[in-house]
Amino acid sequence: MAILKVAQIGHPILRQKARPVTRDELHTHAFQSFIDSMIETMHDANGAGLAANQVHEAVQVCVMEVSDNPRYPYKPKIPLTILVNPVLTPLSETKFENYEGCLSVPDLRGVVRRHVELRVQAWDRHGNPIDAEVRGITAGTYQHECDHLAGALFIDRVEDPRTLCTWKEFARQHEARFREHVKEIVEHYGS
Ligand code: ZN
């Protein structure tokens, strides 16, 4: 295991479409160790999630976990989740506004519209099938991470650039209102 270097916006790896992982490579010691390093890197950076492109490997793997996260104190908890070759399908056209940030986009946040209900199909780290529904703020995190695997960043989806702000100004100007918004979504969708 190791803490990996996180690619920053401008590095071409973040714009590369990640390739699917084969079952054979998933089962190798090297690949399992890479997944462990991704988890360690996410924890070290206090990220809510991390996609393989962000650590310079364009393969379809992302990891997510939210417990008591100092970067996102209002986010509902997500147990440690590893998705291999994920496919997301929206379950409705309903979207919500999410104030997002990214370890690869330093000191910037912006409002992105995300589907509020999704079906996720993927493998877990051992190749077992995952077929689940995710809702609410958590669905936003899933979409953010899967966008990385398609070579997209949250800023590509910011419809109103006037919502862009530093983390300091987010805390000063927007956080209180956004926390209320998050509370309503969590009350409605349970996550
Ligand atoms: Zn990100």
Residue-wise pLDDT for 80-117, tens only, equals: 999 999 999 999 999 999 999 999 999 999 999 999 99
d(CA 61, ligand 1 centre) in Å:
13
- In the 8-state DSSP scheme, what is residue 19? B
Core vs surface per residue 125-164: b (16+ CB within 10 A) or e? beeeeeeeebbbbbbbbbbbbbbbbebbbbbebbeeeeee
**Residue 146: what pLDDT?**
98
Can you list the domains of the chain with their CATH numbers? 12-189 (3.90.45.10)
d(CA 53, ligand 1 centre) in Å:
10
Identify the segments of the chain with pLDDT beneath 70: none
pTM of the model: 0.96
**Residue 164: what pLDDT?**
98
**Residue 78: what pLDDT?**
93
**Residue 1: what pLDDT?**
77
d(CA 171, ligand 1 centre) in Å:
19
**Residue 68: what pLDDT?**
83
